[in-house]
Amino acid sequence: MTVLATTAVAVTAVAAAVLGGSLSPATHTPGGSADRATAAHAAPPWTVNLKTSSAALSRCFPNARSQVTVLLTTDTLGKDTFTIRAWGLRAQTDFTVFLIEKATPTFGAAEYIGDFTTNKQGRAVNTFTLIVEEAFAFNNTKHSRTDLNSIGFWFADPTDDNACLGNGSPVTGFDGDGSAGVQMMNSANRKLP
C-alpha cells in the first residue's frame, strides 16, 4: 500500500470513529449506492391513479389516465421522488402540477411543484424531487399549518380547455404566470401518506 493510500485509510478510520460508524466511499457520498439502497428499503412506493375532474372533461377525454408514484425517502434522504405519468390527454399541451389541501374545489392551500408537457400522442411523464410525505403550507400570520395531502393538475394555458368547455371556461391562478385553465385530474379521495 502506498503512503497516500495508507493515509486515506487512516483518515477514513478516524472519521468513522468520530462519527460513530464506518465510512466507505459508497456510504459517505451523497446520492451514492448506499443512499439509493437505503432509499429503496425505506418505504414501499405509494401509487395513486388520478381521476378526471369533471364529467365534461371525462366526455372530452374518455381515455384520460394519470398515475402518480411517490418514493417516500424523506426520512432517509431528506426528499421524496414524485413521478407523474399521463396519457389520453390533449396532445402537445402543458399542464401544471400541485400538491393541494383538497382535491376538488375550493382546493384550499396549494404548492406548485412542476409541469409536464404531452407529446403528439397525448402522453407525458415527469419526475420531481421534493418533500411530499410531509408537505404543508404554513400561515405565519395565523400560526396555522395546512397539510397538502392531495394532488391535482391544471391546463397551464387558460385557452387549452376551450375546445372542451367553451370560450367562457374559467381562468384559474394555477400557473406561475397566474393564468391557467381548469383542473384536469386529481387524486379524489386518496390522500398522500
How far is residue 69's CA from residue 83's CA, in Å, rounded to a whole number? 5
Dump pLDDT digits (tens) for 68-93.
999 999 999 999 999 999 999 999 99
Taking the C-alpha atoms of residue 185 and residue 86, their distance in angstroms, rounded to an integer, is 10
- Rounded to whole angstroms, the Cα distance separating 20 from 126 reads 39
Residues 20 and 112 in one domain: no
Give the model confidence (pLDDT) of 100-126 as tens digits: 999 999 999 999 999 999 999 999 999
Structurally, the chain folds into a number of domains equal to: 2
- How far, in Å, CA of 139 to CA of 129, rounded? 24
Element (H, E) at 6: helix 3-19
**Domain shared by 146 and 103, yes or no:** yes
Is residue 37 in a domain?
no
Q: pLDDT digit of tens for each residue in the chain (193 aa)? A: 443 333 333 333 333 333 343 333 333 344 555 555 554 555 889 999 999 999 999 999 999 999 999 999 999 999 999 999 999 999 999 999 999 999 999 999 999 999 999 999 999 999 999 999 999 999 999 999 999 999 999 999 999 999 999 999 999 999 999 999 999 999 999 999 8
Quick check: helix, strand or coil at residue 144? strand
Q: Residue 26 is part of which domain span?
A: 3-30
Q: Tell me which H or E stretch contains 1.
A: none
Same-domain check for residues 25 and 48: no
Domain contains 38: no
Q: Which helix (H) or strand (E) holds 174?
A: none
Whether residue 132 is contained in a domain is answered as: yes
The answer on 133 and 69 residing in a single domain is yes
Query: How much is the pTM?
Result: 0.79
